[in-house]
Amino acid sequence: MATETVTLEGHIIDSLILAKVLDTILQRSGTFTINRMHVGATREDASSAAIAVHADSPQRLAAILHAIQPHGAVVEHAADCTVEPAPKDGVLPDSFYATSHLRTQIRLNHQWLDVDAIEMDVAIRVTMDPPAARTVPMAEVKAGDLIVTGRTGVRVFPLERPKERDAFAFMAADVSSERPHHAMIADVARRMWLIRDHRQKARTSGGDSGPGDKVLFVGGPAIIHAGGREALSWLIESGFIHVLFCGNALAAHDMEAGLFGTSLGYGLRAGCAMPHGHEHHLRTINRVRNAGSLTRAVESGLIRDGVIASCVRRNVDMVLAGSIRDDGPLPDVITDTRQAQTAMRAALPGVGLALLVATTLHAIATGNCLPAKVPTVCVDINPAVPTKLSDRGSFQSIGLVMDAASFLRQLAQALGWRE
Amino acid sequence: MTRFLVCPPDHFGIQYEINPWMRLSNAVDKDASRAQWRTLARVLEQDAGAKLERMTPVPGLPDLVFTANAGVVYDGTAVISRFRHRERRGEEEHFASWFREHGYRVLRLDEECYFEGAGDVLGFSDTWFTGYRQRSDIKAHRVLSDVYGKEILPLELVTSRFYHLDTCFCPLSNGELLYYPAAFDTYAQTAIADRVDAQRRLVVPHAEAARFACNAVCAGCHVVLPSGCPETTAMLKDRGYTLHPVDLDQFLKSGGSAKCLTLALD
């Protein structure tokens, strides 16, 4: 999508010049957004409008601008962005531009370019031949990389309201424990159904699945403790989840449940602490370490059911990021946080829906990497978690204050699961 | 008394082609043109009671005679034209000098901002209309609005034969509008209809529009217009105007008539 902003000034309303310019944009297959409008208070006062003109190609945009300029539309003077070389590895120029997670463009060689892989709180690295721009985390920058500095020649697009009139139509980081959940869960289920349907059709026709055709699930161990394991496993087995982010604990307790019927030592059926149950997750981790990897643990028959087994069977892309308090950890857990961030970023392209369930730190880490356009649902029994997520900038997330297992059961039931 | 700036046609002729009316092969009869111009001047002064200010003609500037394109004058300030065609740009300094010498505040627009004076600016006391797309740029009219503090409604001219607003649009002193709608796009026609009610809009038939019936000079109750426009004449008589048809065929060869040959100074 190519965009340029024009201004129109004068007695543009009664002369119908504004109407003519807007009609001309539409007649030439463009669209517009009126960014600013000032209407003169008296007949003598002039009016003005700033209009963002959008077209599906630079050529079509140029044709539209050519057609509206004789009617007084003036392309707003836009300067190229400024760039400076990074002074050393892992260090940005002092005045680097810090990104938001909204769609962003930079102007380079008189042309607006989309910044690829947009996410918040990183910098923009520019390459000249061919001209391109992509986000770069501070730690990954190399000495001499050209980094966008200042704010000149950078523009950020407001979040477009989704076409669907569902719970995501007004993404506004609402968090409330007093809102009926079933309607929102039904909307989440409908989106998951559509994504799976689209992927299946793409596979049948031999084509690639499109952008936004992946569901990301980010989960914490409370899912297992609270009894959401079966529902989550069913969602994965049924092809509704395509990427899993978690830590050591979710995987460890999921496999502990498979091997010992406990989660952190509590019997999932009996609902009470089992003798020596506190050892179960350590024995689980040890056995999986012996197997060598999560995949080998499943393929060898050690782990037969549950979340991890379903992920392995369904080829779900898993990123397990470790923390300082982890036992073990399990093989496949990435203990270097920078490597973990890189692995998470690599799994994000194509994500069209993110479910962040019963985890604080993984939810915020994921929210930091997600573009604002990805519908995001944060489920936690503690209202502080979705609130914290939105406070950290993920304003597009919708918060559901409820028990993780109840959420997963209701979601799975809405998609056809029968307990 | 209405004052007009005029320029005798001593050097008038067709020396280039910058509008569809002009043909180098269609030479001007110099004696006839001078006679027609003298008749126009006499009618304006003696019949219509106007006062004429005469500029000195300049060799090599055949269209200096069309003083409507000198600029726009209001309240002691003259904004001088910036001609789209280089053939007429030599006139700009002469017009500017005349206004300076006669005590007007003279303003110039930026280069590349084309503006052809009162030929593209006409109106009633509260609202001015401007023609754009053929000769003047719409952005020039935005500047005029700032300079004069007037509401200015730009109208798109869509026909090269009616290349200035004054070739197809003539506001009259009692509030009527003489005009030729086909010279405008539909937005402009709607904007005109919104400001001038149907009873006051007098539509000129095509054949008479082609004789530049709209290129008329209105001074009080007197209207001076090219001869050969009987329907227009009858319409205006019905409205109580005193009509003064003048044969200006030699000037029509160059794409001008009564209005183009005058510039109202007050």
Mean pLDDT of A255-282: 86
List CB contacts (< 8 A) between B145 and chain A: 10-11, 44, 46
Q: Mutate which of A7, A16, A43 to disrupt the B interface (most B C-beta within 10 Å)?
A: A16
Q: B264 to chain A nearest CA, in Å?
A: 22
Asked if B139 has any chain A CB less than 8 Å from its own CB, the reply is yes
Taking the model in full, what pTM does it have? 0.63
Asked if the interface predicted TM-score (ipTM) of this complex is over 0.85, the answer is yes
Q: Based on the structure, what is the number of domains in chain B?
A: 1
Cβ neighbors of B73 (< 8 A, separation 6 or more) are: B99, B104, B118, B263, B264, B265
A4, A112 in Cβ contact below 8 A?
yes
In this structure, the strands spanning A154-156 and A104-108 are: antiparallel
List CB contacts (< 8 A) between A43 and chain B: 126-127, 151
Say whether B133 and A14 touch across the interface (CB within 8 A).
no
**Residue A19, CA distances (Å) to A8, A41, A50 in order:** 11, 19, 14
Domains of chain A: 2-75 (3.30.70.2690), 82-156 (2.40.420.10), 175-414 (3.40.50.10690)
Mean pLDDT of chain B: 96
Instruction: Count CB neighbours of A79 within 10 A.
Output: 9
Which of B145, B156, B190 is closest, CB to CB, to A11? B145
Which of B138, B151, B152 is closest, CB to CB, to A71? B138
| pLDDT band at residue A164 using 50, 70 and 90 as cut-offs | low
Q: Mutate which of B112, B124, B139, B153 to disrupt the A interface (most A C-beta within 10 Å)?
A: B153
Which of B127, B139, B195 is closest, CB to CB, to A72? B139
**B130 vs B241: CA distance, rounded Å:** 25
Mean pLDDT of A11-23: 94
- Reference A108, options A138, A78, A144; nearest CA is A78
pLDDT above 70: residue A96: yes
Cβ neighbors of B28 (< 8 A, separation 6 or more) are: B12, B13, B14, B250, B253, B254
Q: Which of B7, B141, B164, B244 is catalytic?
A: B164
Q: What does the pLDDT look like over B188-202, one tens digit per residue?
A: 999 999 999 999 999
Instruction: Count CB neighbours of B139 within 10 A.
Output: 21
A61, A111 in Cβ contact below 8 A?
no
Asked if B29 has any chain A CB less than 8 Å from its own CB, the reply is no
Active site residue B164: yes
Asked if B133 has any chain A CB less than 8 Å from its own CB, the reply is yes
Say whether B138 and A72 touch across the interface (CB within 8 A).
yes
**A306 vs A311: CA distance, rounded Å:** 9
Range of the structural domain that residue B17 is part of:
3-264
Asked if B112 has any chain A CB less than 8 Å from its own CB, the reply is no
List CB contacts (< 8 A) between B84 and chain A: none
Q: What does the pLDDT look like over A283-298, one tens digit per residue?
A: 999 999 999 999 999 9
Q: B84 to chain A nearest CA, in Å?
A: 14
Active site residue B113: no
DSSP helix/strand/coil, B73: strand
Q: What does the pLDDT look like over A182-205, one tens digit per residue?
A: 888 999 999 999 999 999 998 888
Say whether A14 and B155 touch across the interface (CB within 8 A).
no
Which of A20, A43, A70 is closest, CB to CB, to B187? A20
Asked if B119 has any chain A CB less than 8 Å from its own CB, the reply is no
Locate the chain B residue with the closest alpha carbon to A40: B151
A75, A65 in Cβ contact below 8 A?
yes
Mean pLDDT of A354-382: 93
A372, A159 in Cβ contact below 8 A?
yes
Asked if B84 has any chain A CB less than 8 Å from its own CB, the reply is no
Q: What does the pLDDT look like over B71-116, one tens digit per residue?
A: 999 999 999 999 999 999 999 999 999 999 999 999 999 887 999 9
Locate the chain A residue with the closest alpha carbon to B153: A15
Say whether B146 and A10 touch across the interface (CB within 8 A).
no
Q: Is B117 left (phi over 0), alpha (psi -120 to 50) or beta?
A: left
All residue ranges of chain B with pLDDT < 70 are none
CATH of the domain at B168: 3.75.10.10
- pLDDT at A176 (0 to 100): 61
